[in-house]
Amino acid sequence: MAEVKLIVRNPSGLHARPAATFVRAAAGLPAAVRVTNLTRDPDRTSAANSLLGILALGVARGHEILISAEGDQAEAAVEALRALVESGLGEDLGPPEPG
């Protein structure tokens, strides 16, 4: 199993457009990937290839998420999704939050 914790910096969190970008990327990976919103509900996870599941996690700007993967190329899957989230999922992240 591979995993990474990240802070979401998108201005509106993982709303429809960046969530859809994330889900499309996850759907193309051979590993089984799951996402957890550690800030809101660390006991609830969603399959990374489920748009409704990702939206239901309620990830807002500044929330910490956990991306975990099992199976073929789990490390590569986590790394690809980490880079995508850190790049803003196609959105301008604006200035970093203070603190």
Could you read off the pLDDT of 7-27 as tens digits, one per residue? 999 999 999 999 999 999 999
Catalytic residue among 15, 40, 61, 82: 15
**Residues in contact with 66: Cβ distance below 8 Å, sequence separation at least 6, in sequence order:** 3, 4, 5, 35, 36, 38, 42
Average pLDDT over every residue of 73-78: 97
CATH code for the part of the protein at 2-87? 3.30.1340.10
Predicted pLDDT at 96: 65
Domain definitions of the chain by residue range = 2-87
How many whole angstroms from its chain centre is CA 51? 11
Contact between residue 96 and residue 88 where contact means Cβ atoms under 8 Å apart:
no
Could you read off the pLDDT of 59-69 as tens digits, one per residue? 999 999 999 99
- Report residue 91's pLDDT band, with 50, 70 and 90 as the boundaries: confident
Residue 63 bears catalytic tag: no
- Taking the C-alpha atoms of residue 39 and residue 5, their distance in angstroms, rounded to an integer, is 11
Average pLDDT over every residue of 23-39: 97
